[in-house]
């Protein structure tokens, strides 16, 4: 039985909510990953889940309590072996207040992930239609495909900007503000300047470790969250477009009129990836005189999803190599920054070394785990939608031109009278 018929278009099971400011969606996640992000920085696990209010409150709480209890200073002294200084630096009035909420944030993000995964399964079965375009007096938000690596690179250049690229405005602006505040109080730009001049002693002297040790967590989270959300938004786009094509261009009576005797109509069969070009092609054909009842579109359901090491704008499976990589990168970058205060090279240089090593180790773990689950395949484009156009012989050139201009992967022509096919294009 088709899963979509279990809860047909049930509004109780929404897959996503589209507003002018952001698109909030649920999808299957690992509860361990969200819990680890909450351990790295309370609030991050909840933001990953789309629980923005709770996540932002935990972030504000973390900044205030951490700095007042001098936790990062305690971490620095402890890992460098200065235990007496660590004890003296800790403010017990704030430190004891920190523990309970910290543990709760990790526990709650784990519990919420387990619950939301159940709703995600029900939402996939309900197949509820989505609003793909939202506009009000403040903003415009719409579904379109975006490149996850573009979001990741923007996040590397300035955390928060990658979220703006995917139109996650609340998360983007919060991360940008957080990044600016921490950069200012940690004197990061001065640390970068002295490090690039190889004046490592001055880089150590000018930095404020209480704020600087926040940096790896913010940086890795911005990269990870922007990347993963872009992948999931692209999958949401594919699903919404597939449902639209099924509702609008899969008339059950269409196939019965394929080869009626005595007609000389031509059928042009083409293949597409899920993208805006597909809908532009259909719209263009309708404007040029091809009626809707002569257009048939079918989205291909992939029975076995391959695993790809690199997600792109047109190919993503959501089982990438970022989960463990970004988490281990954040941990090892903090350790590198800590030991950079006693090793030659300073906290920035060793933080970057730790980030790189952690990312490589975590990425290797991700690859090893996912290779057990799925078989690596070629990254070539594959057919996702089949489009069949019924037209008169004099319209074939027009239809072929429209489909080619809108990036059809391949095309073939079938004459209804002689029932022969010839390949026209193959990109």
Nearby residues of 209 by Cβ (< 8 Å), 6 or more positions away: 72, 73, 76, 337, 338, 341, 347
Sign of the dihedral defined by the CA atoms of residues 87, 89, 90, 93, in that order:
positive
Residues with Cβ within 8 Å of 175's Cβ and at least 6 positions away in sequence, in order, are 159, 160, 163, 218, 221, 222
The whole model's pTM is what? 0.74
**Confidence label for 366 from pLDDT (cuts 50, 70 and 90):** low
Check if the beta carbon of residue 174 is closer than 8 Å to that of residue 331: no
What is the structure's pLDDT at 6? 55
C-alpha pair distances (Å), 207 with each of 190, 213, 366, 420? 8, 10, 34, 75
Q: What is the β-pairing status of strands 410-415 and 266-272?
A: antiparallel
C-alpha 17/C-alpha 142 separation (Å) is: 12
54 closest CA partner among 113, 114, 108: 108
* Residue in 317, 118, 326 with CA at minimum distance from that of residue 222: 326
pLDDT per residue over 117-146, tens digit each?
A: 998 888 887 877 788 888 888 888 888 888
Interatomic CA distance for residues 138 and 117, integer angstroms? 32
Output the pLDDT for position 104.
Answer: 93
* Confidence bin at 163 (pLDDT 50/70/90): very high
166-194 pLDDT tens trace? 988 989 988 999 999 999 999 888 888 88
What is the C-alpha to C-alpha distance for residues 169 and 122, in angstroms, rounded to an integer? 27
- The answer to whether 60 touches 174, Cβ cutoff 8 Å, is no
First to last CA, the chain: 36
Sign of the Cα pseudo-torsion (333, 334, 339, 343, in order): positive
* The domain made up of 249-306+380-426 is a member of CATH 3.30.70.120: yes
For the stretch 239-270, pLDDT in tens is: 888 888 877 876 655 555 554 544 567 888 89
Q: What percent of the chain has pLDDT over 70?
A: 81
| Cross-strand bridge partners of residue 385 | 272, 299
Strand partners, 24: 17
| CB-based contact 226:166 (threshold 8 Å) | yes
Checking DSSP bridges between strand 266-272 and strand 133-135, what pairing results, if any?
Answer: unpaired
- Domain ranges in the chain are 3-242, 249-306+380-426
């Amino acid at each position: 039985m088709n899963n979509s018929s279990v809860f047909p278009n049930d509004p109780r099971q929404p897959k996503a909510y589209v507003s002018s400011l952001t698109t909030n969606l649920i999808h299957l996640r690992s509860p361990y990953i969200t819990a680890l992000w909450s351990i790295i920085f309370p609030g991050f696990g909840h933001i990953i889940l789309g629980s923005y209010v709770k996540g932002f409150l935990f972030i504000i709480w973390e900044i205030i309590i951490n700095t007042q209890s001098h936790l990062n200073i305690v971490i620095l002294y402890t890992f460098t072996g200065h235990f007496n200084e660590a004890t003296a630096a800790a403010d017990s009035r704030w430190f004891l207040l920190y523990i309970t909420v910290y543990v709760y944030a990790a526990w709650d993000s784990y519990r919420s992930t387990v619950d939301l995964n159940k709703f995600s399964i029900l939402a996939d079965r309900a197949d509820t239609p989505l609003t793909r375009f939202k506009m009000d007096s403040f903003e415009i938000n719409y579904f379109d495909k975006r490149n996850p690596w573009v979001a990741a690179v923007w996040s590397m250049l300035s955390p928060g900007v990658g979220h703006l690229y995917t139109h996650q405005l609340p998360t983007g602006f919060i991360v940008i503000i957080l990044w600016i505040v921490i950069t200012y109080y940690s004197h990061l730009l001065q640390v970068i300047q002295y490090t690039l001049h190889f004046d490592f002693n001055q880089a150590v002297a000018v930095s404020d470790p209480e704020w600087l040790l926040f940096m790896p967590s913010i940086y890795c989270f911005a990269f990870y969250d922007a990347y993963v959300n872009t992948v999931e938004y692209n999958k949401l786009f594919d699903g919404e477009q597939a449902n639209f094509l099924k509702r609008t261009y899969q008339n059950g009576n269409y196939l019965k009129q394929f080869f009626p005797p005595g007609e000389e109509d031509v059928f042009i069969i083409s293949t597409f990836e899920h993208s805006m070009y597909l809908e532009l092609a259909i719209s263009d054909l309708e404007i040029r005189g091809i009626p809707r009842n002569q257009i048939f579109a079918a989205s291909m359901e992939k029975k076995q999803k391959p695993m790809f090491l690199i997600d792109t704008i047109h190919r993503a499976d959501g089982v990438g190599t970022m989960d463990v990589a970004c988490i281990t990168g954040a941990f090892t970058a903090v350790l590198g920054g800590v030991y950079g205060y006693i090793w030659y090279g300073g906290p920035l240089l060793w933080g970057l070394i730790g980030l790189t090593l952690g990312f490589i180790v975590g990425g290797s773990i991700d690859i090893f785990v996912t290779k057990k689950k799925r078989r690596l395949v070629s990254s070539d484009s594959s057919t996702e939608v089949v489009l069949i156009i019924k037209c008169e012989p004099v319209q074939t050139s027009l239809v072929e031109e429209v489909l080619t201009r809108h990036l059809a992967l391949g095309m073939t022509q079938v004459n209804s009278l002689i029932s022969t096919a010839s390949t026209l294009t193959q990109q």
